[in-house]
Amino acid sequence: MSYFDDIYHRLFGKPASPSRVFVNEIIKRSQPFLDQFQAWKASDVCEEFLNDLWQSYFWRKKGVDKDPQMVLLESAYSNGFAISYEEKYGKSNFHYLFDHLAEQVKKLDYRLVLSRHTMQEKGDVVEMKEMHYLKPKRGFVEPIDQKYGNVQIEYIEENDEPTRIKLIANSYPDRKYKEAQDFEELAQYIFSLQKNHN
């Protein structure tokens, strides 16, 4: 397996190995967490981090590596990115980003279908994963506007240390649906602090 394949599988997943799940529950944020999250969104740290992420995404699309490092997933019906954690980002900053991305997607007429927290043993590693799964609010007239497709966002820690955040949008090729919108538009929007989408 090449170095790139190893990184790609680490970020976007590979065949599951035997593991033992010992937590599987709905995410519930405490009020202190929510207060701190709101303060983070109003901070310069948040704005700078999001701008850096958008620049990284923009230049990575052109084949240029920027910091923060980002791996892109691009295929006919699945598009996304994965961001590897670095200590300089700060653990809280990185965790808040996960909820911010879900909030931004919701503003685009999406509904949050599921938010789940799991912990499992994988050999000598304890993996904690949080996942938000969102779908566009469905219309009844065909072809149905699927927007960017269904969106899954994951935040992953290993042995209490953040490792990565990944976001993947999966669209439907079915003729009942309109063609999915350009994923780059979604990326630009979610890496912003704008309050409304016009």
pLDDT digits (tens, 9 = 90+) for 127-160: 999 999 999 998 778 899 999 999 999 999 999 9
Residues 152, 135: Cα–Cα separation, whole Å: 9
Provide the pLDDT for residue 2: 59
pLDDT category, 101, cuts 50, 70, 90?
A: very high
Per-residue burial over 4-17, b = 16 or more CB atoms within 10 Å of its CB, e = otherwise: eeeebeebbeeeee
Q: Is there a domain that residue 3 lies in?
A: no
Provide the pLDDT for residue 22: 75
Q: Is there a domain that residue 51 lies in?
A: yes
Provide the pLDDT for residue 5: 62
pLDDT at 47 over 50: yes
Q: Is there a domain that residue 167 lies in?
A: yes
Q: Calculate the CA 101 to chain-centre distance.
A: 6
Q: Is there a domain that residue 4 lies in?
A: no
- Of 25 and 5, which is predicted with more confidence? 25
pLDDT at 35 over 70: yes
Q: Is there a domain that residue 6 lies in?
A: no
Q: Is there a domain that residue 25 lies in?
A: yes
> What's the token pair of residue 13?
């997943």
Q: What 3-state class would DSSP assign to 149?
A: coil
Q: Is there a domain that residue 13 lies in?
A: no
**DSSP E strand stretches across the chain:** 20-26, 70-74, 78-84, 110-122, 125-136, 150-158, 161-170
pLDDT at 83 over 50: yes
> Average pLDDT in the 111-132 region?
94
Nearest 5 degrees, angle CA 84-CA 159-CA 164? 15
> What's the token pair of residue 45?
């740290």
Provide the pLDDT for residue 29: 96
Q: Is there a domain that residue 185 lies in?
A: yes
Q: How many domains does the chain have?
A: 1
Provide the pLDDT for residue 189: 96
Compute the mean pLDDT over every residue in the chain, rounded to the nearest whole number: 89
Provide the pLDDT for residue 198: 37
| Host domain of residue 61 | 20-190
